[in-house]
Structure 1
Amino acid sequence: MKISIIVAKATNNVIGKDNQLIWHIPADLKYFKKVTSNHTVIMGRKTHESIGKCLPNRVNIVISRNPDFQTFDGGILTNSITEAIEMAREKGEQEVFIIGGGKIYEEAMKIADKLYITEIHDQFVGDTFFPDILPSQWAEISRFEYPKSLTSPYAYSFVNYIRNK
């Protein structure tokens, strides 16, 4: 099973502030939906709470150390990324997606096979960051650039990486 990370991050690696995304780029939301639909998504409790519901057409696994935490309808609770990945494997997943937040991404970077990165070509003030993507560990395999537009106040790129062997 392939372990993939999907994230939108600024050039200074900011991914959020006060448990929210800082930008709104409709094309990125469509891309996220297209890539993750019909797959298992794994997220931390704060990400789950910020979304406010389980994502439709996906198995939603939520990681929390609090055994009393209640997921939104349809969510599956576990206490570790290892256990979450094993659950996805048992369901026969071909590719599982780690969707945040910051601490979960840090852990997942050690074991991920592929990165789906939306690079927002701007810098932001935030309190949650994505780890550095080191060229010694990751090889860029595709990049699609998009300029500022009426629907996006920021230029951005969809970039995919695979782990170096």
Structure 2
Amino acid sequence: MISYLWAESKGHIIGVNGNLPWRLPADMHYFKQTTTNNIILAGAKTYKSFGRPLPNRLNVVLTHQADNNFPDEVMVVHDVNDFLKFANDNKDKEIFVVGGSQIFKLLLPYVDRLYRTLIDHEFDGDTKMPEINYDKFNLIKEKLGKVDSKNIYPHKFDVFERK
């Protein structure tokens, strides 16, 4: 199963200068809890923003860059067909696509589930989430995030499944 996992603010902003424009520990916890012991797929820029392979996950990078630009424990695929073959060979696992926007756009026809953190705040950013036709998905779970001294922005966690 191919799933998207991302956070976006008003205006579909997902990034600025290769980073998140906000600090929201609840979303970081959700990301870690959801992806641990699973497979994550990122583009090269998103992967590099992590600073290292994320532990307790198979890190897969979809890129045109050479394999030796990444640590040995990172699996590199060079085109969508290679990734789709990998996904088909791992049908029993959930593969979380975690960015960036070009990867989200490229794989949109193949995504089965969406995990979206929606932040009710405006941020400046240079990267937006591609348009998703939510008419093709059912909302199956919605949870309001707790606003507190560490998580100062109103937010919610939504999960959608393709119809």
Q: TM over 0.5: same fold?
A: yes
Q: CA RMSD in A?
A: 1.6
Deviations 1:83-132 (A, max 9, x none): 12422443564211101001001112211000000001112111111122
Aligned to 1:51: 50
Which secondary structure does the structure 2 equivalent of 1:105 belong to? helix
Confirm or deny: 8 A CA contact 2:2 2:97 kept in the other structure.
Answer: yes
**Matches of 2:155 and 2:134, distance apart in 1:** 20
Aligned to 1:107: 106
Q: Does 1:71 align with 2:36?
A: no
Aligned to 1:117: 116
Give percent identity, aligned residues only: 30
| TM-score of the pair, normalised by structure 2 | 0.92
AA at the equivalent of 1:109: L
Which secondary structure does the structure 2 equivalent of 1:133 belong to? coil
Whichever structure has more helix as a proportion of its residues is 2
Which secondary structure does the structure 2 equivalent of 1:140 belong to? strand
Unaligned 5+ runs, structure 1: none
Confirm or deny: 8 A CA contact 1:9 1:130 kept in the other structure.
Answer: yes
Aligned to 1:136: 135
**Matches of 1:93 and 1:72, distance apart in 2:** 26
Shift of 1:66: 2.2
* Aligned structure 1 segments of 4 or more residues deviating by more than 3 angstroms: none
Aligned to 1:26: 25
Aligned to 1:16: 15
Count residues in correspondence: 163
